[in-house]
Amino acid sequence: MSLIEIHDLHKSFHNRKAGGVDILRSIDLTMQVGETVCVVGESGCGKTTLGKILAGLQEYSGGSFTYKGEEVSALRKEQWKTFRKDVQMIHQNPYESLNPTQMVFDMIAAPIRRHKKIRDFDALYAEVVRLLEMVGLTPVEDFIDKYPANLSGGQRQRVSIARVLSMDPKFIVVDEATSMIDTSLRISLLATLKKIQDELGVAYLYITHDLALGRYFAWGQRLAVMYLGQIVELGPTEGMIEDPHHPYTKAILSAGRVEDKDSYDLKGVDIPSFRQIPQGCSLSPRCPEMIAGLCDVTVPKLLEVGSDRFVSCHLYGQRDEPSMAEKARQGQR
């Protein structure tokens, strides 16, 4: 059984002027125990909303979301409590997510007291020390009685990771956890998260707009690219970086490469508003490979085009015969 399965997930927000605004449209994603999926997309593509729904912090408006086979919106009492313990979130900004008036020890000990019912101080202390060592805040004595104000951004983020780990989570949503941290320290924080995954087998949904960081963190795992509230491409990280299929993936990779000889550009400069999502494929007005009469009329489905590789684009296996692009690709191989 998969850890998380979402199928045809929708989320719309009420808006006074426009009525319902669809932020997430038909999201399909399955995650296994101990797996990392990195979600990349530009600001406002709905990636944080997806993360919040998966973390149980926001309700979804349509489709299904199951955790260990149980529909999340139907979870009650004990089951809901277990879900909330198993699924955790690390927030973007460690300068706002920690209580400034609590010491590191108290911040990590509070959830343990509450949920694991450990009251004995020595046992509690030992548990907090174990967690701090796991996130690399050593020597522990230097950190355990500090207030957040005495810690750097990277250290604060490690405290919030330790706090999250105190619940023995199975799944952690990591929302841009390194964007507020000094460039020179980002890699070591991500390496710590990877090490924790190896030791504890937690699954991560890593949300970022930085493709290069995503490539590092989800190497050997999976990458999902979002555009205007939809997953447009999903597959193994290496394959997607080396051989992107969807025009949008091609464009963001081209934009992210410093020296790019065959630049792949989208038309226009601006993303359309969620209130006026284009007809057909939502990328069609900007797509350089747009097929008139098809892309601007029919919405493409997210279909499997290779082993574990999904693309939602008319250029790939949406019609009966293989497309021109597909033929060209096969010729190359």
Partner 1 sequence: MKAQEDVLLEIQDLSIEYRTKRGKLQAVFEASLSIGYGQSVAVIGESGCGKTTLATSIVQMLSRNAAISSGTVLFRKKGEEGVVLNHLNEKEMRKLRWSNIVMMFQASQSSFNPVTKIQTQFIDTALAHDPHADIQEVLKRSKELLELVYLDSDTALNAYPHELSGGMKQRTLIALSLLLDPQLVILDEPTTALDLITQKKILHLLNSLRSSKGFSMMFITHDLGIVTQLADRVVTMYAGAVVENAPTKAFFSDPQHPYSKGLLKAIPSLDASFEQLYSIPGSTPDLVEKIKGCLFAPRCEFAFDRCTKEVPQLRKVGQDRWAACHLLKEVSDVTH
Q: Which residues bind partner 1 (CB under 8 A)?
A: 42-43, 152, 154-155, 182-189, 191, 209, 211-213, 215-216, 219, 241, 251-259, 265-266, 269-271, 273
**Looking at beta carbons only, is 4 or 223 nearer to partner 1?**
223
The angle that helices 104-111 and 153-165 make with each other, rounded to 10 degrees, is 20
- The rounded distance, in Å, linking the Cα atoms of 324 and 17 is 42
Q: Tell me if 44 sits within 8 A of 214, measured CB to CB.
A: no
CA 256 vs. chain centroid, Å, equals 19
Residue 137 CB, shortest distance to partner 1, in Å, is 12
- The rounded distance, in Å, linking the Cα atoms of 166 and 147 is 19
- The rounded distance, in Å, linking the Cα atoms of 321 and 209 is 35
- The rounded distance, in Å, linking the Cα atoms of 151 and 251 is 39
- The rounded distance, in Å, linking the Cα atoms of 184 and 283 is 35
**Looking at beta carbons only, is 109 or 213 nearer to partner 1?**
213
Residue 93 CB, shortest distance to partner 1, in Å, is 13
Residue 282 CB, shortest distance to partner 1, in Å, is 14
Residue 31 CB, shortest distance to partner 1, in Å, is 23
Residue 207 CB, shortest distance to partner 1, in Å, is 14
**Looking at beta carbons only, is 71 or 260 nearer to partner 1?**
260
Whole-number Cα distances in Å, 333 to 42, 107, 238, 328, 329: 32, 56, 18, 9, 7
Residue 246 CB, shortest distance to partner 1, in Å, is 14
- The rounded distance, in Å, linking the Cα atoms of 291 and 180 is 41
